[in-house]
Structure 1
Amino acid sequence: MKILIVYYSTFGNTYKMARLIAEGVKEAGGDPVIRKCPELIPEQVIASRPDMQAGREMQKDIPVVTIDDFKNADGYAFGTPTRFGNVSAQLKNVIDQLGPLWIQRIFEGKPAGVFVSTGTMHGGQESTILTFMTVLLHLGFVIVGVPYSVADLYLTKGGGSPYGPGHVAEAENKREIDENEANICKAFGRRLTEIAKKLKR
């Protein structure tokens, strides 16, 4: 059961979430495939920002997602930092190239969900996931979130909601993913894989 985890991460926080979701996929007997989105920020901007350079270095071994990655998956997790309460341009750019697969109905009946990272508690986690769900519905996906049987939803002081995993990175993007946020990521990976198995049957 192949689960594509495609994400964009400027400073590495969404990437760390992708890795935790991959752990959950493996725990449920799935095969996680982690892929990043192409960068759109100009090189001169990145060159002037040590924090962005560190984020890029952290992800240097992750391949850029391809159309074939999308074709060959049984389930999908889309990860993004929020951009003014909405999805990053980098992930939206990838989504906007999926028209040919949409025409072929590649995604219909397959599970998908969204995970996000924000700088602040109310930085748009839920709005970003909810607005991204309209894209998933257009493509034909079956939407997967995180049910309240995952006890960490009651305990989290950072990110995570029934809509999907979340992380609060704080103002300088340096806050590490805490235990509750990590558990929600793993639970999401497990659930995505389990639902993918059921839908494939």
Structure 2
Amino acid sequence: MKVLVLFYSAYGHIYKMAEAVAEGARKVEGMEVEIKQVPETLSPEILDKIGATEAKKAFAHIPIAEINDLTTADAIIFGFPTRFGSLPSQMKTFIDGTGSLWAKGALIGKIGSVFTSTSAQHGGQESTILGFYPVLLHHGMLITGLPYSFQGQGTMDEISGGSPYGASTIVGDGNRMPSENELEGARYQGWYVASLVARMHK
């Protein structure tokens, strides 16, 4: 049984969420969990200009994914920040390369799930995740979100990401890292997806 957490992160917020997702998935006995990142498509010069170079050093040790990595997992949990209410080009480029998997039906029946980040409360947390669902459906994957059994997504005690579509975090001007409630939502999503994988293997 295997869960792949596949992410793109520029400033480390999604990486922190990916770690929490993987932590949750590992709570399911017998579950193998891998974290990988999609290739960067921006040049080092541009990464310097947008202030991402230093932040990316924190997760430079995470392996770069290849297309065939998707075929060896029972579930894939995708994580990426929003770009104007949609997914970033780095994840789009990687996904656009999965045509050979689609042609073989290689991902049919696998679980797909998504988590994200935005700079503002209404910056596309739901639209980004929902906009990625057609990709999962075209691949024949089974979509799983963040159920309301994670009660933290209904909190009124703080500003927090999270919706039934998937865990999320609000980064503000970039200095705000995921809160404990947002990380707990990510852990719950990882655990929930992994528990479904385990149930499918019974």
Query: In the TM superposition, what is the alpha-carbon distance from 1:158 to its structure 2 partner?
Result: 1.6
CA distance in 2, matches of 1:138, 1:178: 33
Partner residue, 1:181: 182
Task: Compute the displacement of 1:5 (Å).
Answer: 0.7
| C-alpha deviation, 1:180, in angstroms | 1.1
The percent identity for this pair of structures is: 37
Unpaired runs of at least 5, structure 2: none
Partner of 2:168: 166
Give RMSD over aligned pairs: 1.2
1:126 aligns to 2:120 (yes or no): no
Contact 1:11 1:56 in 2 (8 A): yes
Alpha-carbon distance in 1 for matches of 2:100, 2:110: 17
CA distance in 2, matches of 1:110, 1:199: 10
Deviation per CA, 1:84-124: give whole Å up to 9, x if none: 00001101111111111112212111111100011111110
Does the aligned pair in 2 maintain the 1:9–1:55 contact within 8 Å? no
Tell me the secondary structure at the aligned position of residue 41 of structure 2. coil
User: Which one-letter code corresponds to 2:141 in the other structure?
Assistant: F
Number of positions where the alignment pairs a residue of Structure 1 with one of Structure 2: 199
Report the residue type matching 2:49 in the other structure: S
Q: Any residues of structure 2 matched to 1:5-20 within 5 Å, and which?
A: 5-20=5-20
TM-score computed with the length of structure 1 as normaliser: 0.95
Give 5+ residue unaligned stretches, structure 1: none
TM-score using structure 2 length: 0.94
Instruction: Determine the structure 1 residue equivalent to 2:194.
Output: 193
Q: Following TM superposition, by how much is the alpha carbon of 1:170 offset from its aligned partner in structure 2, in angstroms?
A: 0.5
Deviations 1:148-182 (A, max 9, x none): 111111116221100000000112x1102112101
Q: CA deviation at 1:55?
A: 1.9
Contact 1:152 1:180 in 2 (8 A): yes
Amino acid at match of 1:94: F
Supply the distance in 1 between the matched residues of 2:86 and 2:170 (Cα, whole angstroms): 15
Matches of 1:55 and 1:99, distance apart in 2: 32
